[in-house]
Structure 1
Amino acid sequence: MTVAPKSLCTSHVHEGRLEASDTGDSSVFPRLARWCPDGSVALIQYEDATFNYPELPTELLGISVDATTLPLLPKRLTQPAPILDYTWYPSATIRDPASFCFVASVRECPVKLFDASDGRLRASYRIVDHRERQIAPHSVVFNTGANRLYCGFEDAIEVFDIHRPGEGTRLHTTPSKKSRDGLKGIISALAFAPDMSSDLYAAGSFSPSAPSSSNIAIFSESTGEVPVMFVGAEGQQVGAGYGVRASVSQLMFNPARPYLLYASFRRVEPIYCWDLRGDVTQPVEILTTLSPTAPIGTKLRKTSTNQRLRFDIDYGGKWLAVGGEDGGISVFDLAAHADTVVGENAAHTDSTPRNMPVMQYDGHHDAVGSVAFHPLRSLLLSVSGSRHFDRSNQSAGYSSEESEDDEDDEIIACDEDAPPSDQAKSTRITINRQRLQPTSQDSSVKLWDFGGGAGVAV
């Protein structure tokens, strides 16, 4: 697979609106893109607390306009505060108005269930702390049966019956704040195993793992708040500790092999994979763009951005795509190391297999915050943008110049011991009180086609 995919359409962002003709910089950029489960539309979360439906060709998405009357979707859905996370209803389809909805977590607001056709609020689910304050979860996910909503926040997971709005059931991931047991910190990632016969789900924390415990745990709906197991160890070296020792950014199970769990971490380049059938203290595969000869523990694997760079796995479980902070997109073949997955009686090994990308191409000119495979076609949606501060004119926070007077409000510096002739010439220090505003180098949304000879059949 050496042929780069074909770019079908590109939309640039300007003031929170998608305009295909605009190529200028903007402080508003897309953060996260997710396809509707039927692949009819995509929903994108933006930096300015808005949702947007990108204008994509319906003929490329496999939608027959003659067979159904598509609703007129709103261009923007504005929220009163920053959006922390959102997810589609698992069986949402544009052809069924009742199921066409999604859940969003908005800061200091109840969890909201929106009608995706017009943005109307259908229901809200309250999470209240001991001070009677509204808590917005950092991660939301539906269970496999699509009848419960799981919301992760600090040291707890709130579970709601989606048919009964209001308050839910709280599952504490740690006995107390002072306890060293359990899963501590903000639950930043949740993922259910895509297996109807299993009720397992994974939870990850923003708090880096301690030397004696991991920040990724496996829970079961039937057992409640007692973890089934903890996942992850970076290595078996002496003093290596437990876990990758970084904040969990994303968790995802392989759709075709639900016993494989993939995880990405903040400021860490590789993506780790564990096999839940065997020893979960050792990863069975590490997906990295580094050279196979480079030590995985070196500083080369660190990235400079705290932004979440979300990966995605196609519905066949064969391909994994992820964007980089330099604008590149990497595609990994997950089937290449399928036979190396260890079982229950496998022995420990210090040499974890490395999976290198089978394809890399330049997708954007800024950090790729999210990629999403189309559920039915060989298409990939990618979004880019990040915060950049131009400090060229404000490197020191102030400027100084020679002045003969003391007018305006600038600070005048004089030396009282200097001769009178020198006292007349003072130094004016101008303090720049204007707040430095961030900009994005490339705020864009792109749709890629892997069907034209690229070799990726989703």
Structure 2
Amino acid sequence: MGEEEEDHDQPHVAGDVPVISTHQDQDQEQDRNEAYPWPVIRFDVPPTRTYHFCHQFRNSPNPNNFLKSLKWSPDGSCFLTSSEDNSFRLFMLPANGNEHLSDSACSVATDEVEDSFAANLVVSKGESVYDFCWYPYMSASEVDSKALAGISDPVTNVFASTTRDHPIHLWDASSGELRCTYRAYDAMDEITAAFSIAFNPSGTKIFAGYNKSVRVFDLHRPGRDFQQFSTVQGNKEGQTGILSAMAFSPNHTGMLAIGSYSQTTGIYREDSMELLYVLHGQEGGITHVQFSKDGNYLYTGGRKDPYIMCWDTRKAVEVVYKLYRSSEYTNQRILFDIEPQGRHLGTGGQDGFVHIYDLQTGQWVTSFRAALDTVNGFSFHPYLPMAATSSGHRRFIVPDDSKEDLHLSGEENCASVWSFSYDSLVGSDVNVSC
């Protein structure tokens, strides 16, 4: 394993390590947010399924392949899926992908013999994917990203991944080539894999969660250079266990939330990794953490835990409220997301539904069926009134009846893009349903 990775001492890139002007990227991001007329999604109208994908996930050599998660890119030009066949698939919105903004948007059928379109990129990994994340100022150089995001820079079009027994890899989302490798070693000088990864808000560092420790890599210095911080103090106080999820506060307060399989969430300072406090109360190991858009609240979800918990980061004493989802009987990560306006949260579950909650009241708003099996991934588009879902779960095959067990409908083990009705902030009402 170690010898195999030695070839990655130098960055794999068609040129040099991506030198990213983060200050310029942040200024462009701020200008983009200020100028963009954010749509207000209408959850009282059921969404329409704009694009649907299932067949290409069943062509894998792994007969029991299923989707595990998906995430929209920061510029909204594409989304990335992770699946049991240890592969990433990138789907770019067509050049006319914003046609859903008119009255012509119609629902696609799930029983079609072909998917809406093929993945633009497939990156195959040798081992199980633990986590992946987009570079925060990513901007694609193709499709209609300029119309969606206002900027375009192929150097920033990258995402990071961590897989079992492998170091952290930085991938080119245009070509699928490996740009850089960030390696951590254990006490035996063997490569150890991160269980969770996240870029800091400025996009200059990669934070990685391990067993009772965090390693911080400089984005522009690939290799084995890193800072290491233990999450357990000498008196064994702090946060124990595998650090399985992490998220940064979006309001640039320098706060970092890290979830652990020990059922705790720690709040740290980004600059020094000082532990500020630890949150207790989740029934299962933490699988997902996300801050509210203003950074005042933190939402945490756990394995085989039916509740997403809301915490006030300014008080950190008790749970503000709990949001129910059907996840009591699965070990899968069930990902949730907050829409760009910051008012609503959407989450999947074992029941095949996406449930929407009002974050100001903690009350259920509505739900819609997204699949006939576990909806494990849900992600709002960063700018448009759209969302993407992924579904699937491991099926235990009986040898004598394998063909019957593997016969799946179009609404199982699938990914879909949904379009919502919305009201424009400029005052014009637009209905995008058929």
> Per the shorter chain, which TM-score range?
0.7 to 0.9
Does the 8 Å CA contact 1:6/1:452 hold for their aligned counterparts?
no
Distance 1:163 1:151 in 2: 16
In structure 2, the partner of 1:248 is: 286
Distance 1:456 1:312 in 2: 24
Distance 1:29 1:143, change over 3 A: same
In structure 1, the partner of 2:55 is: 13
Deviations 1:2-56 (A, max 9, x none): 43111112111345559xxxxxx96212211111111011111111011112354
Q: Establish whether residue 181 from structure 1 lines up as the match of residue 237 from structure 2.
A: yes
Distance 1:323 1:144 in 2: 26
Q: Equivalent residue of 1:252, what SS?
A: strand
> C-alpha displacement at 1:356, in angstroms?
3.3
Q: Establish whether residue 277 from structure 1 lines up as the match of residue 314 from structure 2.
A: yes
In structure 2, the partner of 1:220 is: 269
In structure 1, the partner of 2:324 is: 288
Does the 8 Å CA contact 1:313/1:320 hold for their aligned counterparts?
yes
Residue number among 18, 32, 36 corresponding to 2:69 in the alignment: 32
In structure 1, the partner of 2:19 is: none
| TM-score, reference length from structure 2 | 0.75
Letter paired with 2:287: S
Residue number among 66, 73, 76 corresponding to 2:122 in the alignment: 76
Q: Equivalent residue of 1:98, what SS?
A: helix
Matches of residues 205-354 of structure 1 in structure 2 within 5 Å? Answer: 205-208=260-263, 215-224=264-273, 226-232=274-280, 243-255=281-293, 257-278=294-315, 280-288=316-324, 303-335=328-360, 337=361
Matches of residues 45-444 of structure 1 in structure 2 within 5 Å? Answer: 45-54=82-91, 56-61=93-98, 74-94=120-140, 95-166=152-223, 167-175=225-233, 180-196=236-252, 198-208=253-263, 215-224=264-273, 226-232=274-280, 243-255=281-293, 257-278=294-315, 280-288=316-324, 303-335=328-360, 337=361, 355-391=362-398, 442-444=412-414
Deviations 1:123-164 (A, max 9, x none): 111111001221111110011111111000101011011011
Distance 1:49 1:439, change over 3 A: farther
Distance 2:212 2:277 in 1: 17
Distance 2:98 2:153 in 1: 17
Q: Equivalent residue of 1:231, what SS?
A: strand
Distance 1:136 1:190, change over 3 A: same
> C-alpha displacement at 1:251, in angstroms?
0.3
Distance 2:269 2:407 in 1: 43
Distance 2:157 2:137 in 1: 8
> C-alpha displacement at 1:244, in angstroms?
2.4
**Richer in helix (by share):** 2
Deviations 1:243-286 (A, max 9, x none): 2242101000011x2110000011111110111112x1201121
Distance 1:96 1:303, change over 3 A: same
Distance 1:121 1:390, change over 3 A: closer
In structure 2, the partner of 1:404 is: none
Distance 1:452 1:194, change over 3 A: closer
> Could you say which structure has the larger radius of gyration?
1
Deviations 1:399-443 (A, max 9, x none): xxxxxxxxxxxxxxxxxxxxxxxxxxxxxxxxxxx9xx9887711
Mean Cα deviation higher: 367-376 or 382-391 = 382-391
Letter paired with 2:178: L
Distance 1:15 1:38 in 2: 25
Letter paired with 2:261: F
Distance 2:58 2:200 in 1: 32
| TM-score, reference length from structure 1 | 0.71
Does the 8 Å CA contact 1:369/1:384 hold for their aligned counterparts?
yes
Letter paired with 2:269: S
Does the 8 Å CA contact 2:45/2:420 hold for their aligned counterparts?
no
Distance 2:168 2:430 in 1: 37
Does the 8 Å CA contact 1:450/1:456 hold for their aligned counterparts?
no
Does the 8 Å CA contact 2:91/2:120 hold for their aligned counterparts?
no
Identity of aligned residues (%): 29
Distance 1:302 1:39, change over 3 A: closer
Does the 8 Å CA contact 1:39/1:61 hold for their aligned counterparts?
no
Distance 1:41 1:302, change over 3 A: closer
> C-alpha displacement at 1:57, in angstroms?
3.2
In structure 1, the partner of 2:79 is: 42
Q: Equivalent residue of 2:82, what SS?
A: strand
Alignment RMSD: 2.9
Q: Equivalent residue of 2:311, what SS?
A: strand
What count of residue pairs does the alignment treat as equivalent? 352
> C-alpha displacement at 1:83, in angstroms?
1.2
Distance 2:398 2:430 in 1: 42
Q: Equivalent residue of 2:91, what SS?
A: coil
Does the 8 Å CA contact 2:238/2:278 hold for their aligned counterparts?
no
Does the 8 Å CA contact 2:385/2:422 hold for their aligned counterparts?
no
Distance 1:55 1:332, change over 3 A: same
